[in-house]
A and B are shown apart, each in its own frame.
Chain A
Amino acid sequence: MGTSSNGQRGLFASFGRMWAIALNTFREAVRNKVLAILVMFAVALMAFSLVLGQLSLHEEVRIIKDLGLAGISIFGVVIALFLGVNLLSKELDRKTVYAIIPKPLHRHEFLLGKYLGLLVTMVALVALMSVVLAGFLLMQGGRHGVLMVRAEILILLELLLLMAVAMLFSSFSSPWLSAMFAGSLWVIGRNTAELEAFATGKLEGSAGGTVLEFVLDLLPDFRMFFVSGANFDETVVSVHGSFVSWAYVGSAAAYAAAYGGMCLLIAVLLFQRRDFT
């Protein structure tokens, strides 16, 4: 038996163990009442956009698209914070982890399995909400279209990155603090442009400006994922007219993977050293 096939088998077994954890995490999320209520709210918001659309003249489809995407994004963020922060700390609070860590798996497999479970959950949720949104659009005689799919994928990427950030915080601090930290990072990350303008404008040349610019470069750039209404190459980007290309979605995915991967790596390192008392 060669080493490479041994290594492959090891990798396969490792994935199997992570999958066991992921499946359980997915089950926990799906059976969670809070999550169900949040999803219902998101759908209710879309239904409300139907009513709003009726009030506006000939703008039904546009309003449903805008409100629908906003709904997926906002409720997605709440869900991502809730899941990313809760699932790990609950495990520690309730001591369910005591029975799992001594099982034949590595600690990092446990943590990555948790994240994998969150990822699967989030993909399922965004897909579900997108299908509901597409249904509403069809009812109004509109089309979902590939632009909407790109927008939804970008939202999903944002949520996945946010969950990685939340998991990093929850691997060393309390759930409330973690939610607050991750939530503030998201708010800041969505508004980097304003802060950057401030750093390069008013604070230009000053030490404070340099520091702020440096910090902004370190923070996750969540703006990248919610581009509707933004200016790209002098044209306004929107799902109604000209939207970002697949290449842009690809580069956003690469960014999310790199940044999220770093967060998970640090989370793993912290988790590795932890005493479960």
Chain B
Amino acid sequence: MTAPVLEVDGLRKEFVRGFLRKRTVAVDGVSFHVERGEVFGFLGPNGAGKTTTMKMLMGLIYPSGGTATILGAAVGDIEAKRRIGYLPENPYFYDYLSATEYLHMIGRIYGLDRHERRKRATRLLERLGLAMAEGRAMRSYSKGMLQRVGLAQALIGDPELVVLDEPMSGLDPIGRREVRELILELRGQGKTVFFSTHILADANLLCDRVGIIVKGKLRDVGPLGELLSPKVLRIEVLWQGSAELQAALREQFAEAEPGSEAEPGSEPGSERESPHSSSSEGQVFVAQAQAQLDRFVAAVIAGGGEISSVTPQRETLEQLFVRDSGTRPEEQRS
């Protein structure tokens, strides 16, 4: 068994701000490890401490406590850095340079010769769909284009470990899909990917394992499917029917079933006002239990209506965050 690519042990960061020495614990004793060849997602709501953790791993800020080992070396080791690629959050680059000039500059830092720099820069710009803008000053780039330059500069050193801080942010749906494909391609090449996001769908599609960080503390580590509780919370029914049938069923199923499970995190009275609503695709009914669902579906059919879909609603990441945290750190501390 090979040593983990990334090993984080009790990492902690406390920011001391301003004249009053106000303290914020941004990362509070985080421990996890990322194995070789794995795609590891770092999930958490805004302000959870994802960026802070990544910056500590990249040697941009110094931890207040704990240790981290990357590729077998301490943070900041130049030989280890050579094998790491990093995309900062909301990246910004020298705006007077073109993407090509920038990649050449980074290539020089890696000690690549001119031929190798040109080869890699051309290939990466092509791969990331920037070929048409490669000679233009980056001052004129859109946010999405800068994000792509960010990915290119992270990959120009042909890293074994790729650390991406919100790689999909600022990208349109097509761009997001391209980044997803890129991450899978990197995994296919045997590289390890450690990326942060607060979007469940991205993590769901890509990650072998995720770590969930909330308020600076790591809550869970493991495959995402195991972390989200598999229990079905409620079932959504999409149906069509005549106005009379709608009125009748609204009457008949006015209240949530007595004895049915209350949804965790929702206050009674607000969510459960009415299980009925209408959407552009038809009527929506939210059943709280299987028995209620069966009776509702039977009633729709009997009344001459149509069932379009029945969707079980499992716990979402949002609910997981809410279950774990309730409030954001800022709201809690200050």
Bound-state CA distance A94–B93 (Å) is 8
Q: Are B111 and A16 in contact (CB under 8 A)?
A: yes
Note all chain A residues with C-beta closer than 8 A to B110: 103-104
* Cβ contact within 8 Å between B81 and A104: yes
CA distance A21 to B61 in the complex (A): 21
Cβ–Cβ < 8 Å partners of B82 in chain A: 104
Q: Is the CB of B81 within 8 A of A103?
A: yes
Is A55 part of the contact surface with B, judged by Cβ < 8 Å? no
Contacts of A16 in B (CB 8 A): 108, 111
Is B94 within 8 A of A24, CB to CB?
yes
Q: How far is the CA of A129 from the CA of B37 in the complex (A)?
A: 57
Please determine whether A104 and B157 come into contact, CB atoms closer than 8 angstroms. yes
Give the residues from 207 to 265 in chain B that come closer than 8 angstroms, CB to CB, to chain A: none
Main secondary structure of the interface of B (DSSP, over half): loop
Total residues of chain A contacting the partner, CB 8 A = 28
Contact yes or no, A276 B55, CB < 8 A: yes
Chain A residues 1-56 with CB under 8 Å of chain B are 13, 16-17, 19-21, 23-24, 27-28, 31-32
Contact of B97 with A by CB under 8 A: yes
**Is A102 an interface residue, CB under 8 A from the partner?**
yes
Nearest CB of B to A95, in Å = 5
Expressed in whole angstroms, the Cα–Cα distance for A277 and B60 within the complex equals: 8
Given the known inter-chain contacts A19-B108, A23-B108, A106-B78, please indicate yes or no for A101 contacting B58, CB distance below 8 A.
yes
* 7 further A-B pairs in the complex, CB-CB below 8 A; given A102-B81, A275-B62, A277-B55: A28-B96, A95-B88, A98-B91, A99-B88, A99-B150, A102-B59, A104-B81
Interface residues of A (CB under 8 A from B): 13, 16-17, 19-21, 23-24, 27-28, 31-32, 94-96, 98-106, 273, 275-277
Question: Can you list 30 contacts pairing A with B, beta carbon distance less than 8 Å?
Answer: A16-B108, A17-B108, A17-B111, A20-B108, A20-B109, A27-B96, A31-B96, A94-B95, A95-B92, A96-B94, A98-B55, A98-B88, A98-B91, A99-B153, A101-B58, A102-B59, A102-B84, A103-B106, A103-B110, A103-B157, A104-B78, A104-B79, A104-B81, A104-B82, A104-B109, A106-B78, A275-B60, A275-B61, A275-B62, A277-B15
